Amino acid sequence: MIRCGSNVRPSLFKGPLPADRNFDVAVNYFAPPHPEDFFFEGAETVVAGGLSKFHAAKQMLHADLLHPYSGVYFLDDDIELHFDPSAFLEYCGEKRFSLAQAALSPPSDGAWRITYLHPGFEYRLTNFVEVMAPFFSKDFLLTVVESFDMSISTYGLDVFWGSQLEEHQSAAIVDRFVMSHLKRRDLGGGAYYAYLQSMGIDCFAEMKQVLDRLGIDSYPIRLKGGVEIVESVRVG
């Protein structure tokens, strides 16, 4: 499921898709598609609307839509995948991950060190997967989908998801698969943040609301089995 604007990424948006694949594509447009966007004609599902990526996903997802699938992979349209999505999805299913993401390449722009590639690992179990490209198993998705509109900016959603993992459920940064996010965030003048400001949305206020809802001041990001805090999500 991809939230798309008018830009196009060559490796992801130019078709045709492989005939031998284990996934369908749903595209949610927030702007007119790029003329070379293969998915406008080639995706199995095309919809418009929603205030942001996960707000739109909550509106779109329902039991009938999810019935045939074992999970959902949510992608931003500026992600470059350096792997076959079928292989990644199969791997997540084999490992029975409830929540997972591919590791970020070293040149990528990202907010959290833990999400970057560690070549010595196949994957790392953690309590945190960020919002730009998370995979959800269907079972875990159904437990958290009602939270998808608690933060329109998406800030804090990854904290909430991690807090909802139960003992038998696992989340992973998968170093076997690498993606790039080269577009730099611009909190002061970027189009997305200007869009949020036009609606009166403060992304850091939304993150604090999530922390308040959980009754915490900060969220320690840890590797499973580790006692040391790797990073901490906090406001201010």
What's the rounded Cα separation, in Å, for the pair 1 and 176?
A: 22
Reported pTM: 0.91
Coil, strand or helix at 161: helix
What's the rounded Cα separation, in Å, for the pair 83 and 176?
A: 10
Average of pLDDT values for 163-182? 95
Domain of residue 211, CATH code: 3.90.550
34-84: pLDDT as tens digits = 888 889 988 999 988 888 889 989 988 875 778 889 999 999 888 999 999
At 199, which amino acid appears? Answer: M
Establish whether the linkage from the previous residue to 16 is cis, with ω within 30° of 0: yes
Question: Count of alpha carbons within 13 Å of 203, Cβ hemisphere only?
Answer: 14
Helices (H) and strands (E) in the chain, counts: 9, 12
pLDDT at 188: 65
Give the domain range for residue 215: 2-234
Report the number of distinct structural domains present in the chain. Answer: 1
11-23: pLDDT as tens digits = 777 778 888 999 9
75-130: pLDDT as tens digits = 988 899 999 999 999 999 999 999 999 999 999 998 899 999 999 899 999 999 99
